[in-house]
Amino acid sequence: MDLIQISPAQNATGKKYWRSLNELSGTPAFSQWVENEFPGGAEILDPNSRRTMLKLMAASFGMAGLVACRRPDEKILPVSKSAEDVIPGKPMFYATAFVNRGVANGIHVEVHDGRPTKVEGNPMHPNSQGAASALAQASVLSVYDPDRARTVHEGANPTNWAAYDKAVAGLVAGFGAGTGLRILSERTSSPTLLSVKAELLKKYPEAKWAEYDSLDGGHAIAGAEMVFGQRLQPVYHFDRADVILSLDDDFMGEDAASVEATKQFSKKRKVSKPGEPMNRLYLVESRFSITGAMADHRMRIKSGEVLQFTSDLAVEVGAKSSLKVLKPGDATQKWLAAVARDLKANAGKCLVTAGPMQSAQVHALAFLINHTLGNIGTTVTFVKPIFEPAQSIQELAKEIGAGSVKTLVILGGNPAYTAPAELNFASAIAKVPASIYLGAEMDETAAAAKWHLPMTHAMEAWGDARSSDGSATIMQPQIAPLYGGRSAIEVAAQLLDGKPKKGYALVQGYWKSVLPAADADRIWRKGIHDGVVPGSTFAEVKATVNAKAIPEVAAAALSGTELVFLSSNLGDGRFANNAWMQEVPEAMTKLTWDNAAHISPAMARELKVETGGMVKITLGSRSIELPALVTPGQAEGSVALQLGYGRKKIGRVGEGIGVNVGELRTSDGWAFASGASVTAVAGSRELAITQEHHSMREPDMPGRKGEMRPVVREGSLEEYKAHPHFAPEVDHAEEMFDLQGVHDYSKGYQWGMAIDLNLCTGCNACLVACNAENNIPVVGQDQIRRGREMHWIRLDRYYTGTEEDPQAVMQPLGCQQCEAAPCENVCPVAATVHSPEGLNDMAYNRCVGTRYCANNCPYKVRRFNYLDWHKHITPVAEMVHNPDVSVRMRGIMEKCTYCVQRIQEKRIAAKVDGRRPIRDGEIVTACQQTCPTDAIVFGNINDPASAVAKAKAEPRDYTLLKEINTKPRTSFLARLRNPNPELKA
């Protein structure tokens, strides 16, 4: 018995991994497997061969300590902070990239004995600068996805690579000039893949290369083409802008390069001393995004009205002379005028950005406005695009419909699920005589294509990609392919002559061919090591503006309800089988394991629905039903729908979770569509939302108006200047005595943390980083509904202001490590005790699980293992666990430890290093490491020179619930906003 025999069956029957904990336990095969004496990792990895298993077992005896290693064959280079040679038990860090919609985010991958376990930001990468997004953090779990495609399939029949190689050799022989050959790729910036593309198109001149990305239509480049007459890629420099206007651009949330943007934005957002300046962010959008939560002024309008808004703004700033299209005298106009004045007052150091879902025209107008304000060259520069023009998926579908496509090779991306609905792409694929799909999962496209090839994970294969400014990262594998997959580069290159290719040779071959020959080897090595190829950044392109090329904007009234299609925690759906991302609460709504129709409170009243009530959304002839989610701050008449859910084929985690809103999405209404109708229908669904109360204000009750609770404290920049201590002053100043005596914490290392609420965007990166670092279990939808989520750090989101036009604040809350911890004195078995360094330690082995500590925690940060959350983890998925952190059994309490394992690691390192003191900044907690805003500072509070001591000395530093005398080691720096005085009233 091995797991392989179960898993494909589960693929077939569509078992849901976490929805019910009893599901899997019911299978006798699984129980038997669990009881099996030998874990049988070899069997799992190779489904075919008992002999291979025996070989591997023999090898394991021979190689003793090295059995778990799956290091790639080729030479890969660890970064220098790791040990020079392999020290068992010591992790290695490899620089590579997480590619999001074709854009590289520089990362380090932590590898324990050949297993990637954790993603960290790469501090050497010019764009990510040490930060990583939630998706990048979660990508490591996808390596061990138990439902990944394991073998080549021809139709429904499993076969092997040799069969494919034979078949493709036959196909290639018949390609001729490439007539009828079409390749559909994900949007790619990979220099190697693009060079393979060029070779292919050279060899097969009649062939065409199409690209499709579900979340980015390349409108920015098209907009640049409109206004500059050439395809250019904008590179935004938020760190140079004092005033920013975002036109429906969630640049800190859903944008492919959000980490980079957030990092830059936070540099201008950071205020240390009262009187220091801070940037100002205006934002126009329909749904409430996390960038909207950061905004100083937010205007909610339909996404479809952003074009008119932008056009009027262009007139207002003097970029265009045409007439205004918005109604004069309404609130939007007044707001627009004030914003325009502020932008003009900051000409040259302001920035107008447009979102990827906005049209090329909006982008063109934004570039024009930036040009007029003198921002081009300062806050926005242009470079040669990292993406190349390609055939659109619509044209490809048309050709397939016309029968002119003979061979279709799909390189990832699952177009059968993501393509516009009217293309019926799944059936289009079926029409092609020879269709080959390279995909990591057994997904919708795999079911439609004739050949399905298992794709390697980015951590399993050689590759490369560029960041928006052109900086290239060579992606090195950290683990040999678990299921023997191939990368897009390898599959594409095989089409040249029909012979299998090695990714390493292709990537190295490309780079050696473009790097200066004398220095190629050194640059190649340095590029791999640092995670960025020296000198690969594109040069700035100066271009002349042709304002006339932008079509005039008409005052078009939008009819009906608007639908806006958005990215989600699952990206375009590719993370649907990633349990971490399913369980991450959506940044604003805190919804997990589901998607919903985000509607405004007014629309909810009109439809008489509440959160969870089902609504039917009809657009043209298409309609879907999904639960409503009443979302404060949502634009009136606009419904936000998140893509990536409702997967029909993906695996046990993601199948059947949520609703596929893509069924309403056509090429015409690809980003947003007007003219929809929404009606309430019978039924409701209990949504798994982790935060039920949305305000810091207590609910009103008979005879009592709810009071505000001083949880997240906020002031304006002016207020901070005038009353620097506005935040801590909320608390009563009196000192309280301690009943049980006070420990002397004045000596040695005393760990503490300061979190700058003014910087935190609530992007969830810290939460997922903590998941990976601390082996935090996934509990599933049903258990979240029961209030049993396990995240050690949570991001509390509170709305302030009115229900219609609220502002929002975020607060990351992990264990506060109270010096006088209420949890400690109530534990009968002393399982949670204080360390001399001020940590509230959990002794898991000692815990009997009375849960008294959780009750007595005023911050409610303790997490209890109500059930055995690890019961259904497959041995392959177990490989993602961090060996430095114990996996907790059921029945015990756990919580944030300040990453005590990292503290100990550095303590040992310092000791080995000649008993030197631990340097400030040497210990970096997982949340802190990945934070794109550097909002989290950790260190020794006893050292007045440490960053954390300095942060805590800032006047806006406060602790939560000071009046109950818990003396938390984590403190918060109050939120600031920088409102425009003109708009204040």
Subset of 740-759 contacting other proteins (CB under 8 A): 740
**In the set 141, 532, 688, 847, which binds other proteins (CB under 8 A)?**
847
Min dist. Cβ of residue 774 to other proteins (A): 17
Residue 802 binds to other proteins (criterion: CB under 8 A): no
**In the set 856, 886, 901, 980, which binds other proteins (CB under 8 A)?**
856
Select the span of 67-75, 147-155, 216-224, 855-863 touching other proteins (CB under 8 A).
Answer: 855-863
Min dist. Cβ of residue 794 to other proteins (A): 7
Residue 830 binds to other proteins (criterion: CB under 8 A): yes
Min dist. Cβ of residue 34 to other proteins (A): 14
Min dist. Cβ of residue 796 to other proteins (A): 4
Min dist. Cβ of residue 273 to other proteins (A): 30
φ, ψ at 12 (rounded to 5°): -70, -45
Subset of 679-708 contacting other proteins (CB under 8 A): 691-693, 695-699, 701-704, 706-707
**In the set 743, 786, 911, 916, which binds other proteins (CB under 8 A)?**
786
Min dist. Cβ of residue 605 to other proteins (A): 22
Residue 591 forms beta bridges with which residues? 689
Nearer to other proteins, 14 or 787 (CB): 787
Secondary structure percentages of the chain, helix, strand, coil, to 5: 30, 20, 50
> Applying CB under 8 A, what is the total number of residues that bind other proteins?
65
Closest to 807 measured CA to CA, from 728, 641, 695, 973: 695
H or E stretch covering 773: helix 765-773
Nearer to other proteins, 851 or 907 (CB): 851
**In the set 807, 928, 966, 970, which binds other proteins (CB under 8 A)?**
966
Residue 844 binds to other proteins (criterion: CB under 8 A): no
d(CA 158, CA 153): 4
Nearer to other proteins, 321 or 845 (CB): 845
Residue 796 binds to other proteins (criterion: CB under 8 A): yes
Residue 794 binds to other proteins (criterion: CB under 8 A): yes
Cα dist. 180→73, 405, 406, 409 in Å? 37, 4, 5, 11
Residue 961 binds to other proteins (criterion: CB under 8 A): yes
Alpha helices in 879-946 (DSSP H): 900-912, 926-930
Cα-based angle 621, 626, 630 (whole degrees, multiple of 5): 120
Q: How many residues does the chain have?
A: 985
For CA atoms 868, 870, 875, 879, the dihedral sign is: negative
Residue 120 binds to other proteins (criterion: CB under 8 A): no
Contact predicate 783/867, CB 8 Å: yes
Min dist. Cβ of residue 265 to other proteins (A): 25
CB-based burial label for 804 (10 Å; 0-12, 13-18, 19+): middle
d(CA 693, CA 365): 40
Residue 13 binds to other proteins (criterion: CB under 8 A): no
Residue 429 binds to other proteins (criterion: CB under 8 A): no
**In the set 685, 721, 851, 950, which binds other proteins (CB under 8 A)?**
851
Residue 852 binds to other proteins (criterion: CB under 8 A): yes
Q: Which residues are CB-contacts of 47 (< 8 A; sequence separation ≥ 6)? A: 2, 4, 150, 151
Min dist. Cβ of residue 712 to other proteins (A): 10
d(CA 450, CA 155): 5
Min dist. Cβ of residue 693 to other proteins (A): 5
**In the set 542, 860, 916, 984, which binds other proteins (CB under 8 A)?**
860
Min dist. Cβ of residue 969 to other proteins (A): 17
Subset of 877-896 contacting other proteins (CB under 8 A): 889-893
Min dist. Cβ of residue 23 to other proteins (A): 14
Residue 827 binds to other proteins (criterion: CB under 8 A): yes
d(CA 419, CA 386): 22
Residue 865 binds to other proteins (criterion: CB under 8 A): yes
Q: In this structure, which amino acid lies at residue 650?
A: I
Min dist. Cβ of residue 593 to other proteins (A): 16
H or E stretch covering 104: strand 103-112
Residue 868 binds to other proteins (criterion: CB under 8 A): yes
d(CA 169, CA 181): 14
Nearer to other proteins, 406 or 788 (CB): 788
**In the set 282, 859, 898, 938, which binds other proteins (CB under 8 A)?**
859
Record the tokens describing residue 586, joined without a space.
């959506």
Q: Which residues are CB-contacts of 815 (< 8 A; sequence separation ≥ 6)? A: 792, 840, 859, 861, 862, 895, 896, 897, 898, 970
Min dist. Cβ of residue 853 to other proteins (A): 9
Nearer to other proteins, 123 or 891 (CB): 891
Select the span of 30-38, 174-182, 361-369, 865-873 touching other proteins (CB under 8 A).
Answer: 865-873
Residue 763 forms beta bridges with which residues? none
Q: What character string, x for contact with other proteins (CB under 8 A) and - otherwise, covers 755-784?
A: ----------------------------x-
Cα-based angle 979, 983, 985 (whole degrees, multiple of 5): 105
**In the set 176, 318, 401, 787, which binds other proteins (CB under 8 A)?**
787
Min dist. Cβ of residue 824 to other proteins (A): 8
DSSP one-letter string for 669-733: TSSEEEEEEEEEEEEE---EES----BSBPPPBTTBPPPB--SS-EEEHHHHHH-TTTTGGGS--
First to last CA, the chain: 71
CA 60, chain centre distance (Å): 37
Nearer to other proteins, 328 or 703 (CB): 703
Min dist. Cβ of residue 39 to other proteins (A): 23
Min dist. Cβ of residue 829 to other proteins (A): 5
d(CA 932, CA 938): 15
Radius of gyration for the chain, computed over Cα atoms and rounded to the nearest angstrom: 28
Cα dist. 670→91, 482, 566 in Å? 44, 36, 10
Cα dist. 880→114, 479, 666, 776 in Å? 11, 12, 38, 11
Residue 846 binds to other proteins (criterion: CB under 8 A): yes
**In the set 323, 848, 909, 953, which binds other proteins (CB under 8 A)?**
848
**In the set 237, 849, 887, 906, which binds other proteins (CB under 8 A)?**
849
Residue 424 binds to other proteins (criterion: CB under 8 A): no
Q: What character string, x for contact with other proteins (CB under 8 A) and - otherwise, covers 704-743?
A: x-xx-x-x----------------------------x---
Select the span of 179-187, 285-293, 451-459, 854-862 touching other proteins (CB under 8 A).
Answer: 854-862
Residue 566 binds to other proteins (criterion: CB under 8 A): no
**In the set 33, 387, 510, 864, which binds other proteins (CB under 8 A)?**
864
Min dist. Cβ of residue 597 to other proteins (A): 24
How many Cβ atoms from other residues are within 10 Å of residue 839's Cβ? Answer: 20
Residue 26 binds to other proteins (criterion: CB under 8 A): no
Q: Which residues are CB-contacts of 782 (< 8 A; sequence separation ≥ 6)? A: 19, 20, 21, 688
d(CA 191, CA 185): 14
Kindly list the residues in this chain that would bind other proteins in the complex (CB under 8 A). 691-693, 695-699, 701-704, 706-707, 709, 711, 740, 783, 786-789, 794, 796-798, 811, 813, 822, 824-830, 845-852, 854-856, 858-860, 862-868, 889-893, 961, 964, 966
